[in-house]
Amino acid sequence: MRRAASPDRFTSSRTRIAHRSRRRALVPLLTVLLSVLAALLAAIPAQAAAVACAADAATGCIGGTIRTAAGEPAAGIGLTVSGQGESLEVVTGVDGRWSTPVTTAGDYEVLLDEATLPDGETLRDPAANPRTVAVRLGASVGALFPLGAPTSGGGGGDGSTSSATAEPGTDPAVTTPDSGKPSGITAQRVAQQTVNGIVFGLLLALASVGLSLIYGTTGLSNFAHGEQVTLGALLAYVGCQLLDLPLLVSGVVAVLLGAASGWLQDAGIWHPLRRRRVGTTQQMIVTIGLSMALQYTYQFFLGGSPLRIVTANPKPVRIGGMLFTQQSLTSAGIAIIAIGAVAYFLVMTRTGRATRAVSDNPALAAASGITVERIVRIVWTLGAGLAALGGVLLGLYFNATNWNMGGAILLLMFAAVTLGGLGTAWGALVGSLVIGLVVELSTFVIPSDMRYAGALVILILVLLVRPQGILGRAERIG
């Protein structure tokens, strides 16, 4: 006679089947991440457009925009600014813009490295390289280098004067003619902007995943999450520039301190508010106040000027007509590894499964023996650490950071998590990639200064069609 299978054996078999199904669910995500990494290794984009120099009472700015003879942005061109005991190197971004701050008024010499010009491009006035510009503090001055066939008179033409002083506090790259207008669309530019969008989306996902997890487990929209991103970038700057620590050490310390700040926030603010049963709307208002307090604290201690985590400009390298930098490659690789680690944590670990259970139904999770408050504390710590890591990588990607960096991309983070599906980590990843692509590709049809607005318009249109987001679940109301 056949012996009936014992309940223990049946439970064990069911558990093994569940584990195998989770592994199968994890495989497609890891495959996508590895495919993105392989694509980036084959064609990593140029560095992001550098954060514009901000002139103030103690800072002057030198900058400009360089375009090819056909009017397209000339990316990856190296320039050296020397004078008044300073020697600075700068590289044009994907939009052809460049700018650098100086702290002493006087004459500066700007030398363009002609070896970095795109193939087939020459200076219209080679005799005017280098150019000398007069800089005063609180003002911006442009050093213009038109490209194209040399003119008969040797002059720069088209407004290429040796210096063009802008109003105090303005960016010379913006005041250059036609610098903000979309230029011609080519296959090469589309490919480069597409990969740019993927890289930016990956870095945005690092910052957004924590925001989504916090909302999923607590129902709280944390408007101070952008300041966690800023904190990571500023801590890396302090470590590298003020404490002279290596970049790797500064980055690790910044992430650890960022995670610790998340733990302290939950222990000191959010856990007591939850214990007193303060509503999520009131807690959201607290996050807005906390965001403002942190922003102005950062500005008070570190000032309002752009801060560079690493002062050396990485040399761009061309691959198949595209540009990449070591910083872009490293940032993209770290982002993919970190997102893969978060996916493994949520799918394959006991704590990760408990996190998803709390996100789905906190009351049922508590009834099944899960300590909800412990899980929420872990989520706050993990989310803040990921935001700090995203801040470090974004600071390197943008080649600068400042007191309001996280606040400037906060709406993009909310757009990403809403577009992907509120409360889901996978939705935050998908939404961030969509937002990143829209931000970069929209510059073909709208000025680059409006590219963030284009992403928010796409968010509105998608939500009109699918209110729950791409990966969100439709819920019945009423």
Domains of the chain with bracketed CATH: 60-175 (2.60.40.10), 187-465 (1.10.3470)
Under a CB-based contact definition with an 8 Å cutoff, are residues 94 and 46 in contact? yes
Q: At what angle do helices 326-348 and 187-218 cross, to 10 degrees?
A: 40
User: Which residue's structure tokens are 């906190």?
Assistant: 362
What is the C-alpha to C-alpha distance for residues 10 and 29, in angstroms, rounded to an integer?
30
Q: What pLDDT score was predicted for residue 184? A: 59
What is the length of the chain? 478
Q: Is 367 exposed, middle or buried (0-12, 13-18, 19+ CB in 10 A)?
A: exposed
Q: What pLDDT score was predicted for residue 274? A: 94
Q: What pLDDT score was predicted for residue 334? A: 93
Q: What pLDDT score was predicted for residue 256? A: 97
Q: What pLDDT score was predicted for residue 281? A: 92
What is the C-alpha to C-alpha distance for residues 165 and 60, in angstroms, rounded to an integer?
11
Q: What pLDDT score was predicted for residue 313? A: 64
424 Cβ contact list (under 8 Å, min separation 6): 212, 216, 359, 471, 472
User: Which residue's structure tokens are 């590895």?
Assistant: 34
What is the C-alpha to C-alpha distance for residues 395 and 397, in angstroms, rounded to an integer?
6
* Short-list 323, 310, 329, CA closest to 45: 323
User: How do the pLDDT tens digits run along the chain, 478 residues long?
Assistant: 444 444 444 444 444 544 454 445 444 444 444 444 444 434 333 333 445 677 766 778 888 888 888 777 888 888 889 888 888 888 887 778 888 888 888 889 999 988 888 877 888 888 888 888 888 887 888 888 888 877 544 444 443 333 333 333 334 343 333 444 455 577 877 888 888 889 899 999 998 999 999 998 999 999 999 999 999 999 999 999 999 999 999 999 999 999 999 999 999 999 999 999 999 999 999 999 999 999 999 999 998 888 889 877 666 666 666 666 778 878 889 999 999 999 999 999 999 999 999 988 889 999 999 999 999 999 999 999 999 999 999 998 887 888 999 998 998 999 898 888 876 778 888 889 999 998 888 878 887 777 788 778 877 887 788 887 777 666 554 4
What is the C-alpha to C-alpha distance for residues 142 and 45, in angstroms, rounded to an integer?
26
Q: Which two tokens stand for residue 95?
A: 């939009």
Q: Is 435 exposed, middle or buried (0-12, 13-18, 19+ CB in 10 A)?
A: buried
Q: What pLDDT score was predicted for residue 190? A: 84
Q: What pLDDT score was predicted for residue 341? A: 94
What is the C-alpha to C-alpha distance for residues 174 and 53, in angstroms, rounded to an integer?
11
Q: What is the pLDDT of residues 2-56, one digit of tens each?
A: 444 444 444 444 445 444 544 454 444 444 444 444 444 343 333 334 456 777 6
Q: What is the pLDDT of residues 175-208, one digit of tens each?
A: 333 444 455 577 877 888 888 889 899 999 998 9
**Exposure pattern of 337-347 as b/e (b: 16+ CB <10 Å)?**
ebbbebbebbb
Q: What pLDDT score was predicted for residue 471? A: 75
> With helix as H, strand as E and coil as C, how does the chain read?
CCCCCCHHHHHHHHHHHHHHHHHHHHHHHHHHHHHHHHHHHHCCCCCCCCCCCCCECCEEEEEEECECCCCCECCCCEEEEEECCEEEEEECCCCCEEEEEECCCEEEEEEECHHHCCCCCCECCHHHCCEEEEECCCCEEECCCCECCCCCCCCCCCCCCCCEECCCCCCHHHHCCCCCCCCCCCHHHHHHHHHHHHHHHHHHHHHHHHHHHHHHHHCCCCCCHHHHHHHHHHHHHHHHHHCCCCHHHHHHHHHHHHHHHHHHHHHHHHHHHHHCCCCHHHHHHHHHHHHHHHHHHHHHHHCCCCECCCCCCCCCEEECCEEECHHHHHHHHHHHHHHHHHHHHHHHCHHHHHHHHHHHCHHHHHHCCCCHHHHHHHHHHHHHHHHHHHHHHHHHHCCCECCCHHHHCHHHHHHHHHHHCCCCHHHHHHHHHHHHHHHHHHHHCCCHHHHHHHHHHHHHHHHHHCCCCCCCCCCCCC
Omega before residue 130 within 30° of 0, cis: yes
Q: What pLDDT score was predicted for residue 8? A: 47
Say how many C-beta atoms besides its own lie within 10 A of residue 150's C-beta.
14
**C-alpha 61: how far from its chain's center?**
24
Task: Look over the chain and give the mean of its residue pLDDT values, rounded to a whole number.
Answer: 79
Q: Which two tokens stand for residue 3?
A: 């012996």
Under a CB-based contact definition with an 8 Å cutoff, are residues 221 and 215 in contact? yes
Q: What pLDDT score was predicted for residue 344? A: 93
What is the C-alpha to C-alpha distance for residues 47 and 329, in angstroms, rounded to an integer?
10
* Short-list 28, 182, 202, 203, CA closest to 94: 182
